[in-house]
Structure 1
Amino acid sequence: MRTFQWAVMLIFLSCTGGTKPPKDILDKEKMADMLVEIHLAEAKVSKLNLRSMDSSVVVFRKLQQEIWAKHKVDSALYNKSYAYYASNPEQLGSVYEIVTKALAKSDSSAAPKK
């Protein structure tokens, strides 16, 4: 019985590894670029210290719309792409490696020089 369970697990793992993203979603680099800008927009809204959560949401949505327009992406494509990456941890991890490096780079370039 244990051999059967191991065989099933190996088959399952071999089927899930190496899955290529569908063609109708954003590629890793574009998704990472957008996520960098979205995280920076979230930080910007957070620094505004708006009194109401509603105001923060309105400002963030405006910034988000600007990001989508800049990248020529609509909300449906972004949401579909985000859902794909969120449901594939390995893919999401590689996207966030790019995001983390870009945010670290922008943070170091924004730091005052001595």
Structure 2
Amino acid sequence: MKKCILLGFIVLFFGCNSDSVEKPKNLIGKDKMVDILYDISLLEAIKSQNINGGITVKMGNEYIYKKYKIDSVQFVKSNKYYASDLEEYKKMFEKVKEKLSTATLKIENETKKNGQVVPPNPNSTLNSDTPQVQ
């Protein structure tokens, strides 16, 4: 998750310059882009927890491209375009954050409702920088 946020700031830093970014011909819509960024955040969280034997960057990218029927060039150009407008890009990430919070609450409520306890992953390589799921 921290890597995704860091990636977002890096894109913002390099994407925000005095030159305007031309709108790509096959621009990904804002709502779809929010969904993509949400899924990327989930994949980053899974990778950081080393769940299911680990997900590689390539596997995650292939999953995103196939699920949303896009390619890497379309994603990069769309991301660069949205990142060129800092306020709009920030609003998009706020929507991602809201979706993550909603999903977390839903999972917590279902877990409590069913009286389940999620055991820690013994294969996890956790450190102090890794977000903990409780």
**TM-score bucket of the superposed structures, by smaller chain:** 0.5 to 0.7
Q: What residue number does 2:29 align with?
A: 27
Query: Aligned partners of 1:84 and 1:77: how far apart in 2?
Result: 11
Aligned residue runs from structure 1 range 1-114, under 5 A: 24-48=26-50, 59-111=56-108, 112-114=111-113
Letter in 1 for 2:87: E
CA distance in 1, matches of 2:35, 2:58: 17
* TM-score scaled by length of structure 1: 0.68
Query: Which deviations, in whole Å up to 9, do the C-alpha atoms of 1:91-112 show, x marking residues without a partner?
Result: 2012112211111111111222
Instruction: Considering fraction of residues, name the structure with more helix.
Output: 1
- Residues 29 and 98 of structure 1 are in contact (CA less than 8 Å); yes or no, is this contact kept in structure 2? no
Greater Rg over alpha carbons, structure: 1
Partner secondary structure for residue 69 of structure 2: coil
- Equivalent residues of 1:85, 1:92 under 8 A apart: yes
Which sections of structure 2, spanning at least 5 residues, go unmatched? 1-19, 114-134
Q: Which amino acid aligns with 1:78?
A: F
Q: CA deviation at 1:22?
A: 5.4
State the identity %: 33
Tell me which residue corresponds to 1:9: none
The Cα of 1:80 is off from its aligned counterpart by 0.4
Contact 1:85/1:91 (8 A) holds in 2: yes
Q: Is the deviation greater in 30-39 or in 100-109? A: 100-109
Give the unaligned 5+ runs of structure 1.
Answer: 1-15, 50-55
TM-score, length basis structure 2? 0.59
CA contact (8 A) 1:36 1:103 kept: yes
Superposition misfits of 4+ residues, deviation over 6 angstroms: none
